[in-house]
Amino acid sequence: MKLTHFISYAILSLSGVQAATLNGPCTGAGGAPGTCISTSSCTNAGGKYISNACPGLPTDMKCCSKTSCVPPPKIPAVGRCKKTAVDGAKKIVAAHPGKVREIFCIRDCPCPSNSEHCCGLATDMMCTSVAGKRDRDAFGRSMAEWVMKNRKALNLKYVIWGQRIWNPSIDRVVAPWTKWRQMEDRGSITQNHWDHVHVSYNG
């Protein structure tokens, strides 16, 4: 670590401000979810960056965001997919324009079950370029943390991203994704929730 970077990190620690991490989430222009990356990587990918949103990182690391990576996804119709889940999906998409590629709600299984998908009370917010691919981790993390912070508005039961789960009735304390409870390895990117944010809602 360079001396200037170390000093900046120390000052942030003393001030109580949490230092950002490379490739970690940040809040970009207009409140858009972003990622702390180099300015060259940001512009090469067609993004826009802002300063002072990635504290503790070198000066060429900025908060980069892209407002329209993919077209708006089709929102499930209210029916087997319950209104709570549909409304929740709409709010998540509106808060993350261009970040959700596809939405899944219903699974063909008996209700009640150990999956809220069986009852139309869960949405899988697909946030990578294709299913089964892990290529936009920071988008998923920032989306999952947004869901946690907006748990009341979403009527959230629990949220999963990247093999970690947060449940307001169990975990209670709002915390970064890295502090969420670890889940078992289910053997694939999709089963381990690395290509989508799983959101379960209260019925």
Measured between alpha carbons, how far is residue 124 from residues 21, 40, 162, 189 in Å?
26, 32, 13, 14
* CA pair distance 163, 188, nearest whole angstrom: 10
Q: Which has the closest alpha carbon to 192: 139, 108, 124, 120?
A: 124
- Per residue in 11-48, pLDDT tens? 444 444 467 888 788 888 777 778 898 898 888 766 78
* CA pair distance 59, 188, nearest whole angstrom: 37
DSSP bridge partners of 50 = 63
* CA pair distance 186, 179, nearest whole angstrom: 20
DSSP 8-state code for residue 67: S
Domain locations along the chain? 3-65, 83-201
- Per residue in 85-117, pLDDT tens? 999 999 999 998 888 999 999 999 999 999 999
Whether the pTM exceeds 0.75: the reply is no
Contacts of 27 (CB under 8 A, 6+ apart): 33, 34, 53, 63
Max mean pLDDT among 20-29, 42-51, 127-136, 185-194 falls in 185-194
Report how far Cα 194 is from the mean position of its chain's Cα atoms.
10
